[in-house]
């Protein structure tokens, strides 16, 4: 498996996904009325955080260090957030875009981990990390409860997409089909949560 081609998205689509995550980071820093340097940092860490942690864990070259476009795109997104009115980004548009990025990058992360020889379960976890860790780092730096501490279906949607991707690889299904179905399933679950407030039940058992 390590000799196989590493899964990638078309370059423009890949950069678009990174830009969506970067925008969520930059906008959070803007809402906190931070400096442009902080906006740029939040954009970068949110855009590449999950993929960076994944690559370090699986022993792969960190993807954005070798790509000449990723860091400039994150900087450009920070500039966009800095110079545009916040009202442009209010509402659920960004949430839906983030849902698409979450699902797609969970699949990409899982596929990449599998090509590096990881077993299915760790590969699925790498997919979840790819989709979610950037947002977790963003929230922790901002001092607000992270997505891990909220009951809404976010990590679960990422896990669904990653699991279906791994299952498709195990069954030797055509990659285009398996990846598409996996990403659509993750996006659909996250979209359902956005529209209906679907959430996991919280722990409610009394002690003693």
pLDDT tens column, 142-199: 888 887 777 778 999 999 999 999 999 999 999 889 999 999 999 999 999 988 888 8
- Tell me, yes or no, whether 202 lies in a domain: no
How many domains does the structure of the chain reveal?
1
Decide if 208 is inside a domain. Answer: no
Specify if 204 maps to a domain: no
Contact present, 164 and 181 (Cβ < 8 Å): yes
Q: What is the pTM of this model?
A: 0.85
The mean-pLDDT minimum among 12-16, 52-56, 157-161 falls in: 12-16
Domain span including residue 72: 11-195
- Answer yes or no: is 133 within a domain: yes
Q: Does some domain include residue 15?
A: yes
- 5 in a structural domain: no
User: Any long-range contacts for 142-151 (C-beta under 8 Å, 24+ apart)?
Assistant: 142/28, 142/29, 142/32, 142/42, 150/199, 151/199, 151/200, 151/201, 151/202
Here the tokens at position 88 are 């442009």
Rounded Cα gap, residues 100 and 24, in angstroms: 13
98 belongs to a structural domain: yes
């Amino acid at each position: 498996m390590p000799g196989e081609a590493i899964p990638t998205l078309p370059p423009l689509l890949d950069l678009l996904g990174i830009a969506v995550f970067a925008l969520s980071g930059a906008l959070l820093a803007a809402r906190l009325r931070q400096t442009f340097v902080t906006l740029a940092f939040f954009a970068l860490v949110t855009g590449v955080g999950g993929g960076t942690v994944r690559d370090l864990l699986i022993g792969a070259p960190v993807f954005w260090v070798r790509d000449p476009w990723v860091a400039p795109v994150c900087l450009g997104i920070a500039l966009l957030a800095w110079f545009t009115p916040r009202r442009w980004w209010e509402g659920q548009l960004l949430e839906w875009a983030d849902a698409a990025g979450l699902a797609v990058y969970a699949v990409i992360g899982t596929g990449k981990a599998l090509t590096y020889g990881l077993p299915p379960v760790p590969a699925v976890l790498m997919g979840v990390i790819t989709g979610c860790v950037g947002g977790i780092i963003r929230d922790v730096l901002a001092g607000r409860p992270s997505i891990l501490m909220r009951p809404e279906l976010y990590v679960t949607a990422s896990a669904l997409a990653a699991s279906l991707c791994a299952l498709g690889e195990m069954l030797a299904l055509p990659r285009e089909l398996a990846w598409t179905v996996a990403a659509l399933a993750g996006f659909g679950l996250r979209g359902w949560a956005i529209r209906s407030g679907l959430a996991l039940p919280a722990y409610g058992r009394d002690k003693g």
